Structure 1
């Protein structure tokens, strides 16, 4: 399925090539710090080409002195504001810079194809008593820390209790809400007692999507720290298959080296397979022009996320570049984190008023927003909290379609409106056909590609909802409490293109509607802190998920009992949505087996409540154009070889490293 029109592409290619000739795309050579080896000694990494490394047969070397054909180069979307900080329990650590993908030790990991968890540090799933208050966990034997120490029950028990006794750790309040005690039975057995029935121990404290906030740390290192929340851990001792060899003091890259004793790492013990790359170099590449030329020129193997325009440029220039699908829509739409608009309800009115939030939804033309994000590519996911992945659409959305079609909003003047619009897929298909794309006509195929529908564009109804929420419309714009109403819309700078473009498109729509808005981009550290403390008005966060039928692990953070005062960081969601019935459902689900039919019924009820309240306005499910380059490495997961998802930024990436193979 090819696109016919190429004029714009030819112009853009010419611009990119000219920009490259003028600016170049080389990486800086920054000083690195010493790093700890498996034997506990320290070495100084040398960034001069060819230093301390045997040249590859081709003689090609990376800028950090490693053989190119032994180095898998992976993009990290943002530079880190905290270079040399590898402690996951210290605020500001950039976990997605390879830290949780290559080094962290999880209790349970996820098979993203089967949607099933498996034990990583744990040797299998928990064994619980009849009422799920006592849980016995066997620890996998044979895993060693990178300094040669055994990973045992001591490390697991220490990590749990470190979190529970340290208020400075974000998870502290939630862990104390759940756990009564965590104790060692023997060197490879842990007993956990929960304060109430808790049948979802593995789902909540193991990986189901991106990662998990429980990462086992070495007791013999962390127990010696006066304050673990201030311990940078610049020379980390790890259980994963890679250790830090060097890092850039400006925060632009981290070089990892495969452990010589990789067989004793988590991946080695779990799979028996060796990660194929001796080195994995996580890099932040800079602006979009530099990123795409780096992939075209074989200077990087994996990008995290690009726009469809960038993908067209790259595939036209290098036949070794590919995406999840070979043809349209190229991207996968099954990343479980939908992008859209989150509201800081802790700020009070009008953001905590559902009529205001619904007014925002109906004031925006989603057809135009979708085209402004990724030219219409992607499955509409308007629902809050639960993402419209293909699995989510089948398990929850389609069964609730009759309810969605009948659902109505009270406009406050004696009239109502039904906000659900099921015509989006047909409209978008026509738009894309008009642009030269070969779009299927089968209804089911269109629904899978574009989703079951979106929220209606209804400016008249939106105006009534805003007035109901206490706003007043005057000739010079909207007023609240007698004063001109101005608010901020924020997004993460220079990364997460889908989220950033969505906020910008929403800004255009709401500005046209008459609102005065400040559009602001933020660095990663500021963005993360503001999200947790509620220091935003409307922002492009993605507090959503869906990967398994049991939704507890996706929704437990919305428990209103976890809300902390504005300005503080807590264990719950930063939007501070407070709904008593939703909280009751979360508590009821916590006590039920995931296989109990009532759990699914409660999930459907939660879905309805969240739609009625609309604490988040979704645009699309996670649409990921995640290109790879097969010049040096191949056997990446894709639609034809889906042994995993293309989730380089998830903790399961370490299991993909055993499958990505060098080109012979």
Structure 2
């Protein structure tokens, strides 16, 4: 097939029990694949790229329509075996086309042309039918409160090799979620795709009975292997290792240089040790200070830094704890939090920033959006127990000895939940619990299984929870407002989430405001100046009302080792703003054949 090898600009992140797995002799235990001999993972000079990711072959399967329960689909390595229509260059706002050959806007219609000549490893072609069925199911799977898919009113084939999506209203970057959708093979899902298309054309929407029934059909499918269309296909799966081999007829199959890709099962501690022993080439884990110390002096170590646009904070559930709805209480809690100390313990020096502006944006972005005079008005929320006490007393709280009591006279005692395995979030929760308890608000830090945390967040079934703030997934500035106010805040009976008010919000700066109305301007107005003006307004409102508390921000990095398995990593600087887990620059360079094996 024809290669795409553009000139790289120097401008500037699961469960399906009972699925079939393929056993791999000698890989049933960790020690069987952690060695440095020719029989183990450490054998080098054979054109093998070795990465690391924490997966679970007992609970994750091979049905990528059920994405959360699919092996490796949440990892950066998925681009190598199950690519998407495109990868956005967050620095230039230009698409790096993958399964799509091109895309174009004409009025309210967004057209995607399918790249010809790409095959699934079952021998069938990647076709417009794959795109049409996959995109239609993505539309039906998207809830009404989503950001871009709800605006899609029509999906149809255009000509022989293109799909057109008509939007009822759009905004700059609205196509991001569409181009990031997974494309699935009609050879496997064709009958269900046809049902999806018929339902969509009949006016069925997400959560209708017909859609839910079809979702059950999709998710109940169980396969013993992947059907892949990338330059690699999953060949062997063991408990601690997944091996991919070349798929020459897949996307860019004629230009990738590695003959084999191995992904080691590794949590943070194991990944750090494997880096320290030069037994893997690359890892995207969020390492703590002690883990980074393990591999800091490894020969050939490369650190790839990414612009921090988000961070770790806490959500307060107004549903369970109505006293948290008062902004004065939120301000008090900020004044008894030493974010710098929390960040140092959670991730260590050099891996975080302590927010100066507490605007809901990373400081670098805030300085682009707000004027110097506006930035000067923002509360830095320095540690100040006297201010915290004054805010609480003003909100009707009292103190009984060393213990604060809520306005209803009950002792202020709470649980703070964090997901198991998220070490940085767990350490953050523990430090916040310690700091707030010392002030007289008793907080107990607990962990829950990662599989449960997503429902807990949406249902508001917590007192306090560690969670992201800022802009972790969407490149446009407005992505921060989507996360800060609308993610895990559905405000429905079944899923109240934080239950933060967004329609009639009282502010000192602007009076009573509708956050959704301002957000719509910030994300969708065709005038960039008006979008930035709305974002500046939201930043000021965030700082005043604190819909979630920003504790520290990520300085994101991934790590590679040049020498044993990789001759040289090629890192396009203009991709440094990308999400390292889903728009990863190193994976892009492997696809393009610019990052190559050691000789």
TM-score by length of 1: 0.70
Cα offset for 1:278?
2.6
Give the SS at the match of 1:62. Answer: coil
- The answer for the alignment partner of 2:531 in structure 1 is 599
Query: 1:539 and 1:256 mapped to 2: Cα distance?
Result: 38
Q: Distance in 1 between matches of 2:570 and 2:560?
A: 10
1:229 matched residue in structure 2: 219
Q: Using the TM superposition, give the Cα deviation of residue 116 of structure 1 relative to its aligned residue in structure 2, in angstroms.
A: 3.2
2:142 aligned with 1:163: no
| Correspondence for 1:283 | 264
Q: Is residue 246 of structure 1 aligned with residue 236 of structure 2?
A: yes
Shift of 1:457: 0.9
Matches within 5 A, 1:88-107: 88-93=65-70, 95-97=73-75, 100-107=78-85
SS of 1:342's equivalent?
strand
Q: Does structure 1 residue 505 correspond to structure 2 residue 431?
A: yes
> For the Cα contact (< 8 Å) 1:338–1:387, is it kept in 2?
no
> Kindly tell me: are residues 578 and 291 of structure 1, through their superposed partners in 2, closer, same or farther at Cα, counting changes over 3 Å?
same
| Residue 234 of structure 1, CA deviation | 4.7
Runs of 4+ in 1 over 6 A off after TM superposition: 32-35, 546-549
Q: What displacement does 1:359 show?
A: 1.5
Map of 1:579 onto structure 2? 502
Secondary structure of residue in 1 paired with 2:470: coil
Shift in Å, 1:566: 5.6
Over 3 Å counting, the alpha-carbon distance change for 1:120 and 1:350 in structure 2 is farther
Structure 1 vs Structure 2 CA RMSD: 3.6
Q: Any residues of structure 2 matched to 1:514-593 within 5 Å, and which?
A: 514-545=440-471, 550-556=476-482, 558-559=485-486, 563-565=490-492, 567-568=494-495, 574-580=497-503, 581-593=514-526
Tell me the equivalent position of 2:594: 659
Show the counterpart of 2:328: 355
Q: 1:127 aligns with which of 105, 110, 118?
A: 105
- The answer to whether residue 556 in structure 2 is matched with residue 629 in structure 1 is no
1:543 to partner: Cα distance: 4.1
For residues 190-229 of structure 1, the aligned pairs below 5 Å read 190-206=163-179, 212=180, 214-224=181-191, 227-229=217-219
Distance in 2 separating the partners of 1:369 and 1:561: 24
Q: C-alpha distance in 2, partners of 1:561/1:361?
A: 21
Among residues 240, 250, 255, which one is paired with 1:273 in the alignment? 255
Task: Give the corresponding residue for 1:436.
Answer: none
Alpha-carbon distance in 2 for matches of 1:532, 1:81: 26
Which of 619, 635, 639 is residue 551 of structure 2 equivalent to? 619
Aligned to 1:18: none
In 2: Cα distance, 1:104 partner to 1:353 partner: 46
Q: CA deviation at 1:298?
A: 2.3
Deviations 1:76-95 (A, max 9, x none): 14657722244243554463
For residues 483 and 388 of structure 1, the distance between their equivalents in structure 2, rounded to whole angstroms, comes to 36
Shift, 1:482, TM fit:
2.5
Residues 285 and 163 (structure 1 numbering): CA distance in 2 closer, same or farther, change over 3 Å?
A: closer
Report how many aligned residue pairs link the two structures.
Answer: 531
- Do the aligned partners of residues 643 and 364 (structure 1) sit closer, same or farther apart at CA in structure 2, a change above 3 Å counting? closer
What displacement does 1:643 show?
6.7
Change (3 A) 1:541 1:100: farther
Give the aligned partner of residue 210 of structure 2. Answer: none
Q: Is the 8 A contact 1:389 1:546 kept in 2?
A: no
Q: Please state how far the C-alpha of 1:590 moved relative to its aligned partner.
A: 5.0
In 2, the alpha carbon distance for the partners of 1:361 and 1:342 equals 12
Alpha-carbon contact 2:315-2:466 (below 8 Å) kept: yes
CA drift of 1:659 comes to: 3.2
- Give the drift of 1:567: 4.8
Corresponding residue of 1:257 = 245
TM-score under structure 2 length normalisation: 0.77
**Structure 1's 221 and 649: CA in aligned 2 closer, same or farther, altered over 3 A?**
same
Summarize the alignment of residues 43-192 of structure 1 with structure 2, pairs less than 5 Å apart: 46-48=24-26, 60-62=38-40, 69-77=46-54, 79=56, 82-93=59-70, 95-97=73-75, 100-129=78-107, 133-166=108-141, 177-192=150-165
1:5 — aligned with what?
none
Spell out the pairing of 1:642-653 with structure 2 (5 A cutoff): 642=573, 644-645=575-576, 648-652=580-584, 653=586
User: Which among 280, 302, 308 is matched to residue 282 of structure 2?
Assistant: 302
Query: 2: CA distance between counterparts of 1:549 and 1:294?
Result: 32
